[in-house]
Amino acid sequence: MAELQTSTPGTIEAHALARHVRMSPQKARLVIDLIRGQKAQDALQSLRYTPKRAAKHIEKVLRSAIANAERKADDSGSPLDVDRLFVSKAYVNEGSRWKRLRPAPMGRAFRYQKRTAHIFVGVAEHHIAAAERVAANVAEAESQKGVRGTARRVRKALTGKQPPAKKKGKK
């Protein structure tokens, strides 16, 4: 299945995944649907006051995704405003099932399953914020470029030296 690339160049995206979380995926999906598409900070507040057991696990994964985005931004050398992050992807898949037996009458056994879930949360920088950040980086680079060139010209004028003439081929 092909994935659509909706991100613009320069946006910072990160994700986190918790595997084999001991809870039913159906119950976790009820909570994950609350935060999909929200700002990251709003999603954290929603999860903090949601009275479901899944909220604690999903909050932990969301915090990890935010930390991954910050780390990614630091590694690339670009500043990141965490307030501009939003939950771009959030879903819960079914993990492996733990098969167990329960004693039943007349020496028999009933099987039951303890379900697990894989929780995935992806955060991304809003495309407008990314465009502003890229424009600011370009403007800063351009301003630094002018300062360096000015310093070189001033140094050359103070020393009065001409650059050495280039040699031509053998004659």
CATH of the domain at 42: 3.90.470.10
The answer to whether position 168 is within a domain reads no
The reply to whether 22 and 101 lie within a common domain is yes
**Are 88 and 153 in the same domain?**
no
Residue 107, token pair as written in the block: 């020496």
Q: Domain for residue 85, yes or no?
A: yes
Do 104 and 155 fall within a single domain? no
Residues 56 and 75 in one domain: yes
CA nearest neighbour of 119 among 151, 158, 89, 88: 89
Query: Residue 109 falls within a domain, yes or no?
Result: yes
| Domain count of the fold of the chain | 2
The answer to the question of residue 167 being in a domain is: no
Query: Looking at the predicted structure, is the pLDDT value of residue 164 above 80?
Result: no
pTM: 0.73
Residues 63 and 68: their CA atoms lie apart, in Å, by: 9
Per-residue pLDDT of 35-81, as tens digits, reads 999 999 999 999 999 999 999 999 999 999 999 999 998 998 877 88
Q: Measured between alpha carbons, how far is 44 from 35 in angstroms, rounded to an integer?
A: 8
The answer to whether position 4 is within a domain reads no
Residue numbers of the domain that contains 18: 13-125
